[in-house]
Structure 1
């Protein structure tokens, strides 16, 4: 099996001045994950490493750069899933953690649970030796300014989410194993304790070796209503290609609940796609030592991997 990795940096409308930063970020993440796969690494490790790159990049709404809740604090969600055995780990509403995706993997591997939240996730992180960092170190000036803007009466946090995207990755390794990972800071000025689709299995992501893997981005409440990731897997189960399944899932979400978003998908044969119903979505993919990247509909820039 030829390994494949696809990453996304979130669906929405990207402010022009940040576009190049988004492109660079997803390319770096995809190449990091692919380097793992080229060395016969597992898909699970590849998606984690790719998402860590994006969590550390201030352009994206995950880890450093996460949006702020109504009190001006960072609360983050993340999920990871192993297609070999359907094992999954997730965290929600976590604070003071640089890389929630790594904590989510530890939940999967070190506990009998699938999702830890808030205080429990923090206690578990301490027990696993993950260092706490001040929440201030996760806050960018861009996130702070956006939070201030949305304190005004009549502001719309969903609209102001534009250009701040959830991040994710899907991969298939040389053994034919698939995995997914998704991480986010959530919605701008969200209520304290709000958890969106990202940490919910079947919504923010899903992976099953029999069919493939999906990572989602977009309006979380809409994604949760249709369990978008699992819906796309269901379509592939019925014989659809990744592209057909992604388009069908996004169309259903738009028609049924008027929700917009984006997805990256890889199937058990190594075919992949990146689809979105928003104006833009940053994504990158590597297959056969070829890196592809896009932001706009129909765009697919291709370059060799060095």
Structure 2
């Protein structure tokens, strides 16, 4: 309880600092800007909080996850295990010179599917609420985390996290994590959030595109546009990537590819990313928010090299508490 309370205090402090900085540095901009700029600022920058205390919201919903007994956790520089859940992180490099690709693979075997949880920036749900992956991870006592789907950049898509419904606006092909350890790609527009929860869905992610289905690379993924709204950058070409692959029941591979860093890692195309997932044994794989957001956190540190020269704020993470 003390650690949970300290996490809340850290979050409250960050919210006060961030909002004070915005009011001091941004108010003059809003006044000086035309109506279009003010609209863009309100739509894509200003926080629109819908749930102010996610912990309390989920507690009130009565949804619980499997809690690991970490009293006898075993860790090395590249692995961690506790109570039957194991996480092994490996750095891999292919190519040479300007064709070098560097990526990080977390091979995760879960005791129970609900061990893999989601957390939101600042413990709030809403549009434009952001925090660094490592900060969200530390607030939630995570031993491992990756950035999620940046749900807060858009107003559509299914958002079910830790068994609780937050948004029910199907728009694209999503990824559903079931309580029985299965992970599937599904059509958000063909169902409802309540139907998914009733069927046993624990978490959903809404970004894409799907990379692998039935072990095969999905056709046309290098031409897909996930978002076309103001300020969005294309997901096409050689980019830093974050993705998740389903190998077998309760067995996942979570991958972050670094990029935009000549001689270290150029990034990968969507098809290259799919092939990489295929080589790792995934039969289903899904692309998450990438670019400057791509971040992997393990045992207290960010292990990759985010392309912005440092972490970029994001809406959410997937994590295992340790």
User: Do they fold alike, i.e. is TM over 0.5?
Assistant: no
Greater Rg, structure 1 or structure 2? 2
TM-score, length basis structure 2: 0.28
More helix by share: 1
Structure with the higher strand share, 1 or 2: 2
Relative contact order, higher structure (CA 8 A, sep 6+): 1
